[in-house]
Structure 1
């Protein structure tokens, strides 16, 4: 063979090899991040990997740590029992990768960028600003961002993204539930409002105002805000105390500030009834150090059984949860924050979707996740359930208003 003919032949072989490699690579990743064989990133025939960015340090480390512990407890138990049987007939172990964002949006985005190449979906992370920080990128990358712990309604609008769904009731839903209870009391009340100066706080206040709309017996006498980065709200509490309001609506997400607010009001001898959001109303972590028993009533909303409550001491769900939490979640105490229970529920909801998945793709997963109706996840209170098929609503939308009784919460029907 002449040299020129040999060069042409080897060149043709190289070209064919290059084209073949490009074809394989092109077939290996679909529009929702599919890899070889049509499966999406983060799932194989034997495993599926989920990512979490959540605060594991800083002021919100308590609830943030719970978001990892609860879901690890649920899937740790499932994995120990052999794994989860998916709708495609394969049984897979569920792996969790978690990173600390310290409730910092920039860190949350960096964590997402680090995780997105190896996880099937993002889940369970705590925080509105932190989940918002990578929301646009997740939509663009078609990475599911599901059962995250934010009540921001933007995560539930399928017209904006079919790849997102939050877990907990929307902030306006919580605020409205309390507003309706307040309005139905039939007696005159003056309300002081302190809210976080972001979508979190605004959502609660929006719900409160909707709940009391048309109620002539309720008057909001003053509204103040604080920044999530503030280290004190003493000035705001002092100003609100001067109004003489008999109800304090405190839409706050920072644990130390929630405690300090309760303490400061007592120092001023101002003792109104209080409303606290579900994620900052822990009896052990907030109400006890804040001496909440000094007030005529502290109210919040919930959809989960509280293990610390005597009413659930012998509840089978609670017993299994606490056992799993210790054995697989590396959490040896009775949780002071509801987020441990919420993320355990998230695990059960995800398993429901996995059992309905007939293809190992993100598109098929979202179809399965969005098809859950009236599911009673472990630890759910009577009157609540999981419904994921209602557009613009989170996985859990119903809440029960409760009143602190010195040790835990009890369901109430009337304000006062």
Structure 2
């Protein structure tokens, strides 16, 4: 099932503050600085360009966090081995990556940005809503691109409020809405329990889900609880939600160990609902298999990238090239456990599209061309999805395919059940 959600504009306190800041600098709409008159911005020379990443390389989200670096290193490692990227200004440059660990801590993420901002051309790919938000206003003020980051927070796709930002993955509302649409179209009565992260990540998923089931008589939310990203257990929440007798759990969680323990606790309680899982915590090898997900009636997620672990893509040319580049240019060998590896590989390909059209070595010129990419079929993209950076209110990828876990990987589905 292919889901492209309607355009929405989300402006909150952070966005309003950003607008005010831009008005004071005379930059209320669109980037205008970062190397005026063709003068090179920081982080770029005639022979190289350096990109910065702040992301969790240790801690509870280290698995997906390391993937946000490995995929892009794999992509540009292969490109550099062939001589580099030929930019629109005629120069051929190698692409260097400088990545710092923020452990999913917003304060560390801001410190990492402060350390990198004057030596890199752009910041990209890093994981996390609170960590990317921690330095959003600073990036706007400094006119440093914060682009193709791995958060579904819609603020990063609001062009007027955030002219130096662009998200890569679908906004959380889009993913949540895809689950809501699937359930609403089932035509059967369902009781839903919701467990979500108490931040913009969780709120966005729940918002999209609720909008799609609003007014649907056959769907009833019978329990709704939250947890903190710093919590070490959700057993109490799972016990309370299990008592509702819900046959579906909408599980908007981003912390890998907690997703596993949530499923394990459900089994201990004798509760066997169908699960709706976000794309970033639906890894078969790292999460679903250890949690024994195959014992539940169904585990559903969404995707826009081919899964190398799926037998369907065992001989796929894109997948084979990706795995080869990953092994040759990173410390990771074999099939990656998290989709973030594939996403950051796609990010590399998308950045290359912008680089190839840049006519000046400036951040402003880069942003101009990054925002003009339309219907780009990046490597590893599923049929029916593409990169489109031209629509205000949407990230680079806004379309998702709903899938069901089959014990090894995921199959596309058209209906719930």
Normalised to the residue count of structure 2, the TM-score between the two structures is: 0.92
Deviation at 1:332, TM superposition (A): 1.0
CA contact (8 A) 2:38 2:360 kept: no
Q: Which residue of 1 aligns with 2:313?
A: 312
Q: Is it true that 1:385 corresponds to 2:383 in the alignment?
A: no
Deviation at 1:231, TM superposition (A): 0.1
Q: Which residue of 1 aligns with 2:62?
A: 61
Q: Which residue of 2 aligns with 1:9?
A: none
CA contact (8 A) 1:87 1:358 kept: yes
> In structure 2, what is the Cα distance between the partners aligned to 1:407 and 1:304?
16
Alignment deviations for residues 214-252 of structure 1 (CA, whole Å, 9 cap, x no partner): 211101111100000000000000000000000000000
Q: Which residue of 2 aligns with 1:358?
A: 359
> In structure 1, what is the Cα distance between the partners aligned to 2:373 and 2:219?
38
> Which consecutive residues of structure 2, in runs of 5 or more, have no partner in the other structure?
1-30
Q: Which residue of 2 aligns with 1:224?
A: 225
Deviation at 1:144, TM superposition (A): 0.2
Deviation at 1:330, TM superposition (A): 2.1
CA contact (8 A) 1:281 1:287 kept: yes
Q: Which residue of 2 aligns with 1:349?
A: 350
Q: Which residue of 1 aligns with 2:150?
A: 149
Say which one has the larger Rg. Answer: 1
CA contact (8 A) 1:57 1:100 kept: yes
Aligned partner of residue 285 in structure 1, secondary structure: helix
Normalised to the residue count of structure 1, the TM-score between the two structures is: 0.92
Deviation at 1:32, TM superposition (A): 2.8
Q: Which residue of 2 aligns with 1:134?
A: 135
Deviation at 1:36, TM superposition (A): 10
Q: Which residue of 2 aligns with 1:201?
A: 202
Aligned length: 387
Q: Which residue of 1 aligns with 2:102?
A: 101
CA contact (8 A) 2:152 2:172 kept: yes
Alignment deviations for residues 270-316 of structure 1 (CA, whole Å, 9 cap, x no partner): 00000000000000000000000110000000000000111100000
Residue pairs, 1:246-325, within 5 angstroms = 246-325=247-326
CA contact (8 A) 1:172 1:207 kept: yes
Aligned partner of residue 374 in structure 2, secondary structure: coil
Deviation at 1:329, TM superposition (A): 2.1
CA contact (8 A) 1:32 1:40 kept: no
Q: Which residue of 2 aligns with 1:401?
A: 402
Q: Is it true that 1:215 corresponds to 2:198 in the alignment?
A: no
Q: Relative contact order, CA 8 A, sep 6+: which one is greater?
A: 2
> In structure 1, what is the Cα distance between the partners aligned to 2:203 and 2:32?
36
> In structure 1, what is the Cα distance between the partners aligned to 2:304 and 2:32?
36
Question: 4+ residue runs of structure 1 moved beyond 4 angstroms?
Answer: none
Alignment deviations for residues 325-348 of structure 1 (CA, whole Å, 9 cap, x no partner): 010122113100000000000000
> Which consecutive residues of structure 1, in runs of 5 or more, have no partner in the other structure?
1-29
> In structure 1, what is the Cα distance between the partners aligned to 2:139 and 2:400?
29
> In structure 1, what is the Cα distance between the partners aligned to 2:35 and 2:156?
23
Residue pairs, 1:165-176, within 5 angstroms = 165-176=166-177
CA contact (8 A) 1:32 1:143 kept: no
Q: Which residue of 2 aligns with 1:80?
A: 81
Aligned partner of residue 141 in structure 2, secondary structure: helix
